[in-house]
Structure 1
Amino acid sequence: MSIRKLTIMALLVAIAVAGSTFVAIPTGIARAYPIQHAINVVSAILLGPVPTVAIAFVTAIIRILTGTGSLLAIPGSVIGALFAALAYKYSNKMWLASAGEIVGTGIIASLVAVPYAKLLMGTSVAALFFMPAFLMSSVTGAVLGIIIASSLRKTVFAKQFTN
Structure 2
Amino acid sequence: MKTKKITISSMLIAIGVIVGNIIFIPVGVSKCFPVQHTINVLAAVILGPGYAVAIAFCISLLRNILGTGSLLAFPGSMIGALLAGILYKKTKNNLLAVAGEIFGTGILGGLLAFPVANFIMGKKIGALFFITPFLISTIGGSLIAFFILRVLDLKKLTNLNKEA
* TM-score range for the pair, normalised by the shorter chain length: over 0.9
- Give the whole-Å Cα distance in 2 for the aligned partners of 1:48 and 1:60: 18
How many residue pairs end up in the alignment?
162
Contact 2:47 2:158 in 1 (8 A): no
SS in structure 1 at match of 2:152: helix
Residues in 1 aligned to 2:154 and 2:2: alpha-carbon distance in whole angstroms: 22
Superposed, 1:46-125 pairs within 5 Å as 46-125=46-125
Unaligned runs of 5+ in 2: none
**Residues 79 and 108 of structure 2 are in contact (CA less than 8 Å); yes or no, is this contact kept in structure 1?**
yes
1:93-123 deviation line (CA, Å, top 9, x unaligned) = 0000000000000000100110111121011
Stretches of structure 1 lacking an aligned partner (at least 5 in a row): none
Inter-partner Cα distance in structure 1 for 2:68 and 2:60: 9
- Between the aligned residues of both structures, percent identity stands at 43
Separation in 1 of the partners of 2:158 and 2:95? 19
Partner SS, residue 23 of structure 1: coil
Deviation string, structure 1 residues 27-80 (Cα, Å, up to 9, x no partner)? 121111000000000011101011010000001000101111101011110011
Q: Which moved more, 1:119-128 or 1:104-113?
A: 119-128
Q: Show the 5 A alignment for 1:1-163.
A: 2-154=2-154, 156=156, 158-163=157-162
Match of 1:127, SS state, is: coil
Instruction: Tell me the TM-score normalized by structure 2.
Output: 0.94
